[in-house]
Amino acid sequence: MARNSSHSTGLRVQLPLLCFLLQAAIIILFSFFVQYNHETDSALWHHSNHSALDNDFYFRYPSFQDVHTMIFIGFGFLMTFLQRYGFSSIGFNFLLSAFSLQWSTLVQGFLHSFHEGKIYIGVESMINADFCTGAVLISFGAVLGKTSPVQLLLMSLLEVTLFGVNEFILLNLLGVKDAGGSMTIHTFGAYFGLVVSRVLYRSHLDKSKHREGSVYHSDLFAMIGTIFLWIFWPSFNSAPTNTGDGQHRTALNTYYSLGASTLSTFALSALLSREGKLDMPILESKFKVQDTCGVHNLHGMPGVLGALLGALVAGLATHQTYGDGLESVFPLIAEGHRSATSQAVYQLFGLFATLVLASLGGGIGGLLLRLPCLSSPPDSQCYEDQIYWEVPLEHEDEVQEHLRSEDTETQA
């Protein structure tokens, strides 16, 4: 039966081969190029006789751990709402993240912090690696259930690379500020994934329709992911900002914004839903991606909106509001290199560049994933753990029963 064949999903040969190749390449590149920075290298740190307190570790590690929880628990469990796809949601989330965090350290290192042939790493590298992984997981949400792990790894390889390029263009070339990763993470991740999903369009996906729903307990698992993403969002936004008032203010703003958004979401959910009932998935269903508009609503539109607001804020920035802090928020304005209006235009151009790069990248990614040598799950086996995982018997039985009843229906 095709359903049980490992060939159809490339697990037997392609996946191990790809994993080993990628990991070997990473190890070789790390050994040639990656070095401890002055805060993680024993000799360098002790040489300059710092107080332990000055080490960036104490300013950023607690926030990093919250971000790390969001990536692995938050995104991982968020996607468990599908009734038969919990293992894959968590497992592939795990696999893609483990790869992306390593690969993005190299890509970001080459592009942002390559000094005299070396990449110097510390806690900020970890935060940035997790951020890039976040963008990959947003795209993962757009193709969830319809792609094999081999396809997903290749998508990540491409996306991480282009993420680095886009970030380089925005932050280094255009001098754009990207608070909360509106453009580099949310907009880029969403539209890259949406275009991939578009290129992979399946006209007969309705054959897997019955597996797209959730079950009671799968929704509770998804709530674990949802809430961890929600509670640690202040850490996500504040982890990379300037120490002192910057981190503090960002965390505070995110905290109250989330509260206000939640109340509004409940109101809208009750107002708009059938029979006036609340829809648990309304908080998380945005990731239901058969029509992929989920990712669009949850990351694409908010990312674009955030970018537009960012441009507006830049256009209104004055010395009066920020005082001497303007230097750390909009240094180019503070130093007189740009007017506030000019900064706003650059912000808008950054958004435009992001949309272009994400769309082109997603298009190339989608075509890559359609290569005939890469098998993908058949239309009738989407959203199904059993083609990838050893599923405990109890559940497997149910699946078999379901498949038998389908067969009978088809014959009738």
- Encoding tokens for residue 35? 């070095």
User: Which of 33, 57, 110, 349 touches a second copy by CB under 8 A?
Assistant: 57
Minimum CB distance to a second copy, residue 192 (Å): 22
Nearer to a second copy, 228 or 383 (CB): 228
The yes or no reply on residue 331 touching a second copy (CB under 8 A) is no
What span, in angstroms and rounded, lies between the C-alpha atoms of 272 and 268? 6
* E strand or H helix that includes residue 121: strand 118-121
Residues 258-317 interacting with a second copy (rule: CB under 8 A): 258-260, 262-264, 266-268, 270-271, 273-281, 283
Size of the site for a second copy (CB under 8 A): 135
Nearer to a second copy, 23 or 339 (CB): 23
The yes or no reply on residue 321 touching a second copy (CB under 8 A) is yes
> First-to-last CA distance in the chain?
21
The yes or no reply on residue 87 touching a second copy (CB under 8 A) is yes
Q: Provide the greatest CA pair distance for the chain.
A: 81
b/e per residue 189-217 (b: at least 16 CB within 10 A): bbbbbbbbbebbebeebeebeebbebeee
**Contact string (CB under 8 A) for a second copy, positions 157-196, x = contact:** ----------------------------------------
What span, in angstroms and rounded, lies between the C-alpha atoms of 403 and 409? 10
What span, in angstroms and rounded, lies between the C-alpha atoms of 307 and 320? 23
Minimum CB distance to a second copy, residue 36 (Å): 6
Nearer to a second copy, 142 or 251 (CB): 251
Nearer to a second copy, 271 or 373 (CB): 271
> Contact 112/334 with Cβ under 8 angstroms?
no
Residues 130-159 interacting with a second copy (rule: CB under 8 A): 149
Minimum CB distance to a second copy, residue 194 (Å): 25
Residues 96-135 interacting with a second copy (rule: CB under 8 A): 98-99, 101-102, 105, 121-123, 125-126
Cα–chain-centroid distance for residue 98?
13
The yes or no reply on residue 16 touching a second copy (CB under 8 A) is yes
Minimum CB distance to a second copy, residue 224 (Å): 7
Q: What DSSP state is assigned to residue 113? A: -
b/e per residue 83-104 (b: at least 16 CB within 10 A): bbbbbbbbbbbebbbebbbbbb
> Contact 284/81 with Cβ under 8 angstroms?
yes
Nearer to a second copy, 168 or 389 (CB): 389
Angle of the 340-369 helix axis to the 188-199 helix axis, nearest 10: 30
User: Which of 3, 29, 35, 44 touches a second copy by CB under 8 A?
Assistant: 44
3-state secondary structure of 324: helix
Token pair 């006789």 in the structure block, residue: 49
b/e per residue 232-269 (b: at least 16 CB within 10 A): bbbbbbbbbbbeeeebeebbeebeeeeeeeeeeeeeeb
Minimum CB distance to a second copy, residue 78 (Å): 13
Nearer to a second copy, 241 or 347 (CB): 241
The yes or no reply on residue 31 touching a second copy (CB under 8 A) is no
Nearer to a second copy, 251 or 369 (CB): 251
Minimum CB distance to a second copy, residue 291 (Å): 18
The yes or no reply on residue 400 touching a second copy (CB under 8 A) is no
Q: Which stretch, 166-174, 299-307, 371-379, 393-401, contacts a second copy (CB under 8 A)?
A: 393-401
The yes or no reply on residue 32 touching a second copy (CB under 8 A) is no
Residues 226-245 interacting with a second copy (rule: CB under 8 A): 227-228, 230-232, 234-235, 243-245
Nearer to a second copy, 30 or 168 (CB): 30
